[in-house]
């Protein structure tokens, strides 16, 4: 394989007891990952950690040097279990307090008389942080170094990604093709291995599905190179046809 430039990558740290306890189903990983794919950034790891300061600090310190971008979700609200802002300040030895711009922004959002102490907490963060604007509910996220701190509520998180795009410098866009076929994995395993061994720099995944009484396998081909994906898919289609396996769809 030819040497390529270091890929632009990312990791997510989900801060939230509610995900670990099984109470809440995370959906932010898929949202952030699909958004990163469009920007040419490859998500390489996710960690879900509890709302415990020393665990968060250890995780952030371990990860921010390993990946181009780190996204955290959760823990930037006004309640006692929202400890992300304070914890990130500690992790990077930054002063934690009212962030001038965030304070002004929230004061304006709520109007002076409704800007209660509970709400003021949402203006507390590393004072040198950059802000991530929140078009849906006022309270901004923030970033320090390569660590971008987003809220946990999926709809709010989603609304804030657009404003982040000019801060993320991606690589080549990651392209995907999926071939779905009426088969089982064991029937195609050998042929698929041959194709994978031929296209070493392409990522081929095989995922069985069972839905609404239908059984099949989705073969997912991912790369930044369109031509290689096309060549690889041609070989997959060719062995499926040879085996007389019904192709259900290509996209």
Which residues in this chain contact a second copy in the complex, by CB under 8 A? 14, 17-27, 29-34, 36-37, 43-51, 55, 77-82, 116-119, 121-122, 153, 155, 174, 176, 185-190, 192-193, 196-197, 203-208, 210, 220, 222
Residue nearer to a second copy on the CB measure, 136 or 238: 136
Contact 139, 107 (CB under 8 A): no
Q: Which is nearer to a second copy, 50 or 163 (CB)?
A: 50
Q: How far is the CB of 186 from a second copy (least distance, A)?
A: 3
Q: With respect to a second copy, which residue has the nearer C-beta, 89 or 223?
A: 223
Shortest distance, position 14 Cβ to a second copy, whole Å: 8
What is the secondary structure of the chain as a DSSP string? ----PPPPEEEEEEE-HHHHTTSS---HHHHHHHHHHHHT-EEEEEEEE-S-HHHHHHHHHHHTTTSSEEEEES--SSSTT--HHHHHHHHTT--EEE-HHHHHHHHHHH-GGG--HHHHGGGEEETTPEEE--TTTS--EEEETTEEEE-SSHHHHHHHHGGGGGG----SPPEEEEEEESS-HHHHHHHHHHHHHHSTTSEEEEEEEEETTEEEEEEEEEES-HHHHHHHHHHHHHHHHHTTPPEEEE-
Closest distance to a second copy from the beta carbon of 227 (Å): 20
Shortest spacing between CB 129 and a second copy, in angstroms: 20
> CA-CA distance, 13 to 20, in Å (whole number)?
13
Nearer Cβ to a second copy, position 133 or 215?
215
Minimum distance of a second copy from residue 206's CB (angstroms) = 4
Q: How far apart are the first and last CA of the chain?
A: 27
**Shortest approach of a second copy to residue 119 CB, angstroms?**
4
* Residue number with CB closer to a second copy (18 or 101): 18
Q: Give the whole-angstrom CA distance, residue 244 versus residue 247.
A: 9
Minimum CB separation of residue 220 from a second copy in Å reads: 6
Closer by beta carbon to a second copy, 144 or else 157? 157
Tell me whether residue 92 or residue 110 sits nearer to a second copy (CB atom).
110
């Amino acid at each position: 394989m030819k040497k390529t430039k270091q890929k632009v990558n990312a990791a997510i740290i989900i801060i939230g007891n509610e995900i670990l306890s099984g109470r809440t189903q995370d959906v932010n990983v898929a949202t952030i990952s699909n958004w990163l794919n469009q920007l040419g950034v490859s998500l390489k790891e996710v960690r879900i950690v509890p709302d415990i300061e020393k665990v968060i600090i250890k995780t952030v310190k371990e990860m921010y040097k390993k990946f181009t971008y780190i996204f955290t979700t959760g823990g930037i609200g006004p309640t006692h279990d929202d400890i992300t802002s304070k914890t990130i300040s500690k992790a990077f030895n930054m002063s934690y307090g009212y962030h001038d711009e965030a304070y002004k922004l929230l004061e304006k959002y709520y109007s002076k008389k409704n800007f209660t102490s509970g709400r003021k907490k949402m203006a507390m963060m590393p004072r040198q942080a950059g802000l991530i604007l929140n078009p849906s509910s006022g309270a901004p996220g923030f970033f320090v170094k390569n660590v971008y701190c987003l809220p946990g509520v999926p709809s709010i998180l989603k609304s804030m990604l657009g404003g982040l795009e000019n801060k993320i410098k991606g690589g080549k866009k990651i392209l995907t093709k999926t071939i779905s076929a009426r088969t089982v994995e064991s029937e195609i395993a050998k042929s698929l291995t041959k194709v994978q061994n031929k296209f070493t720099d392409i990522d081929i995944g095989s995922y069985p599905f069972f839905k609404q009484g239908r059984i099949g396998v989705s073969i997912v081909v991912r790369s930044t190179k369109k031509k290689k994906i096309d060549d690889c898919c041609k070989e997959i289609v060719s062995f499926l046809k040879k085996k007389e396996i019904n192709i259900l769809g290509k996209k």
